[in-house]
Structure 1
Amino acid sequence: MKTTYATLAAIGITMCTALAGCGTDTTEDLQAATRAECTAAILADGKPGTKVTSQECEITLKDTRKLDCVIVGRGLSCDWNHVSGADKEPDR
């Protein structure tokens, strides 16, 4: 019986020690996560009797890659397959 308690105590102490390093990073990142430039909202007809706004945005990620997105109504759709840097830029 004492062996069982000793084993459980050893496992408990080991688990507490392993989790002691978990926590949050207190260093602050002063750089903004992203920056977005969007076109003016365009009002268009949606379902019968409704209006929907749409915008095109170019979002600059923290690592300087650029991402093209479309906002329709309250939804956001981004083209992650063609983020600048993910594929070759077209020759001009």
Structure 2
Amino acid sequence: MTKGEDYGAVRARMIQAGWKPYHAPDADRCSAYDARCVNRPEMVACAGTGVGACKFLWKKGAHTRALCTAGETRAVFFAVCEP
């Protein structure tokens, strides 16, 4: 994963590596008009202001990983962040 890489590409590699999108029970709802999170059940939250940060959760066995993105119109990988 490279900072600035499109989250769609990162997401595809996570799935290929055996990670599963994880839908947290307390996750925010994605707006039908928000391209950053539509059809991405792993979205925990997306901000509508500032850098447009989103957090996405992944599970592989007992491990959980959170990926954070930035971008108001499309999700761009920023960092591995705290789950």
Same fold (TM over 0.5): no
From the CA coordinates, give the structure whose radius of gyration is larger: 1
Comparing both structures, which one devotes a greater share of its residues to helix?
Answer: 1
Q: Indicate the structure whose relative CO is greater, using CA pairs within 8 Å and at least 6 residues apart.
A: 2
TM range (shorter): 0.3 to 0.5
